[in-house]
Amino acid sequence: MILTDTVIENNLIAKEYKELLRISYQSLSSDDRKLIRLAFNTSVDAHKNQRRKSGEPYVFHPIAVAKIVASKIGLDATCIASALLHDVIEDTNYNEKKIEKLFGKTICKIVIGLTKISKLKKDKNISLQAENFRKMLLTLNDDVRVILIKIADRLHNMQTLDAMPPEKQIKIASETLYIYAPIAHRIGLYDVKSELEDLGLKYTEPDMFNDIKNKIEQTKDEQGKYIKNFSRRINEKLKKEDLRFKISGRPKSIYSIRDKIIKKNISFEEIYDKFAIRIVYKSEKENEKFIAWKIYSIITDYYTPNPLRLRDWITSPRSNGYEALHITVVGPGSKWVEVQIRSERMHEIAEKGYATHFMYKQGKQTESGLEGWLNRLQEVLENSDTSALDFVEDFKLNLYATEIFVFTPQGDLKSLPKGSSALDFAFSIHTGLGLKTRGIKVNGKIVPLSHELKSGDQIEIIKSENTKPSANWLDYVITSRAKSKIRSALKEDKKLLAKEGKEILRRKLKQLKIKFDEKSINELGNYFNLKTSLDLFYRVGIGKIDNISLKKFAASNNNRIISFFRKRLTSSKEINHLENEIKTNFDQIVFGNEEEKMDFTLAKCCNPIPGDSVFGFITINEGIKIHKKDCPNSISLQSKFAYRILKSKWIDSSQEEFISIINISGIDIIGIVNEITKLISSSLNINMKKMHFDTEGNTFKGKITLKVKTKNILDKLILRLKKINGIEKVARE
């Protein structure tokens, strides 16, 4: 709406201000009102000459953001004032010093944090969304309120997105679905998260959005009648128990219905749980659990429950603070119905978010699940080795994961994302413990490090100072913390091996009468298709580049050949040959959890190169095409053709581990098996997959299945095993 009359505009602005004070969730003191009034006047003055794309005065935007902060998130006067001022430093003549002088350090710091997020620029080498996500979360270290206000800002931008051109709508909506909705979910802002998702879908998949919205409208009356019918039978019984309660229906969001349609490949009509019934009751905190189970008992007297669908988040609240008892029963007409049972206090937390009630209660930070989450998040953010895209994918996985609850040997309860492994648990206790994990017992039994945990498991970590993480550990874990710590450790290990490799290379080149200098290192890098000197030294250290390889290098006039090919490499045949060389000799792409190798071509829309985060897409006529994860077509392909997406990744061929079997025979001496396993696991840090020994008289025969990186490592192991007293023969199968 375009308003040209100044008087009308001023009246509307004043009306919005009164509405802001009225809908504030917090009780506002006279000092609070003065603070908000000052922020309001400052915002009106700062934005007096600005208008939005819709034509209305710009100040309507900060007022709308402040209203979301006050009502939907339930924050205090400090946050309301910060929301009113959130664009002042960025867009007007007001600077940091002036804001600090008027409002103090806390509000100034929050406004600066919001300004920093708005000014983030795109780096050509990374995904804009991914890097924005990381940088935005880094502000959590300063003040979590920055994120809460930024979410409110994004929600209002989405509510007014119609005024933007179509290309901007899709970009902003995609970013909202990718970044802001997951954060709102994790912080516990369920209503805000649902609205962000629905609005995101409205612009990214308008046909789907409108179709579901129309069908929900058409079934609204039918749902209302069903809820009344369901409630009628239990209403009287609940009242007889002197319970004060309210029963209402809550429809599922459009986005969640769309998710079910796609994931389960069903129609709208086939979704049975399009809405949930919610019972909110009054209770003192100490009686909440008792009354919840009392209501459960009354409901199940009338309606048969599904025991597999019982969720008790009162006894064990979710880590974002959500508490409720969820049950699924067979309602009237033999339909499955989800019933959410929660007290008024639980309802407030669910509606307004955990941060509101626990992070800044009475102006002091208190110990809470959210604060613990923020601390863990900060550890991951501080690990600079993780790329922005890796960080986003790891972190989003943990955002959306359902939680499980497991126990330490002492009986302490720990929450982890569903799908977490025993190794994830080790890292959740302490990084040092995770890195030194030799073995794990679950419920008293030894299990593989990759063992998936279930709620109720009790876990004991077996530690060894000689243990080091290997690259395949990354396949065993799903949590961001574990992945980042393993990556860091592997990088440190690689540096140590590279240091050894550098000295080995120095000696080898001396024997070959080649000077060890920058020129020869660069020539070697080009010859072996390596990016850095670290990669070169590392491969020498692990034996991938051996004497034979170095002699071939010395015998060739490498520079002349490279120069020749650079000048002559013009035909498509030669270019294809070079691409194949890169795939074969430098990096490879593998597919699926089993890391299969298949034929593929590189997509021209995003031109992925070795090392990029990628996915495979099965085309109809051209086989598998490899796209970058941040490819412009990524969202479209992954949302519309999820069934044709293949999990894919580049692997460094030098880092691959290969299965090898060795046969051992000799004299059966007490402790010989222990000596063999100790040498393999502790001294040489080789991964044993399987081991079997048979004895006959005073002799033994054994078969050991190993995972090794190179033949050199295996040869070294065989030599060391032959030196053990009692062993007569060691041979590869």
Catalytic residue among 9, 19, 56, 90: 90
CA distances from 114 to 72, 97, 207, 392, 674 (A): 19, 16, 34, 20, 60
Tokens of 162: 């119609």
Burial 117-147 (b: 16+ CB within 10 A, else e): beeeeeeeeebbbbbbbbebbbbbeebbbbb
Maximum Cα interatomic distance, the chain, rounded to a whole number of Å: 106
Burial category of 676 from C-beta neighbours within 10 Å (exposed 0-12, middle 13-18, buried 19 and up)? buried
The three-state DSSP-derived secondary structure of 470-519 is CHHHHHCCCCHHHHHHHHHHHHHHHHHHHHHHHHHHHHHHHHCCCCCCHH
Q: Which pair of tokens denotes residue 101?
A: 């002088």
Whether 195 is a known active-site residue: answer no
Residue 280 CB neighbour total at 10 angstroms: 20
Structure tokens at 468: 């080091």
**80, 86, 87, 260, 411 from 153: Cα distances, Å:** 12, 9, 10, 29, 43
Between CA 32 and CA 76 the distance in angstroms is: 8
Q: What count of residues does the chain have? A: 733
* DSSP 8-class letter at 702: E
List C-alpha distances in Å: 605 to 5, 240, 352, 621.
50, 67, 43, 17
Q: Are strands 624-628 and 601-602 parallel, antiparallel or unpaired?
A: parallel
Q: C-alpha distances in angstroms, 79 versus 20, 83, 236, 278, 308?
A: 13, 6, 43, 30, 42
Query: Is position 91 annotated as part of the catalytic site?
Result: yes
- In the Cβ-directed half-sphere of 620, how many Cα atoms lie within 13 Å? 1
Q: How far apart are CA 477 and CA 543, in angstroms?
A: 28
Give every strand in the sheet of 687-696, ordered side by side: 687-696, 699-708, 658-667, 727-732
Conformational region of residue 595, where left means phi above 0, alpha means psi within -120 to 50, and beta covers everything else: left
Q: Which residues pair with 691 in a beta bridge?
A: 704
Marked catalytic residue, from 16, 56, 91, 191: 91
Active-site residue list: 90-91
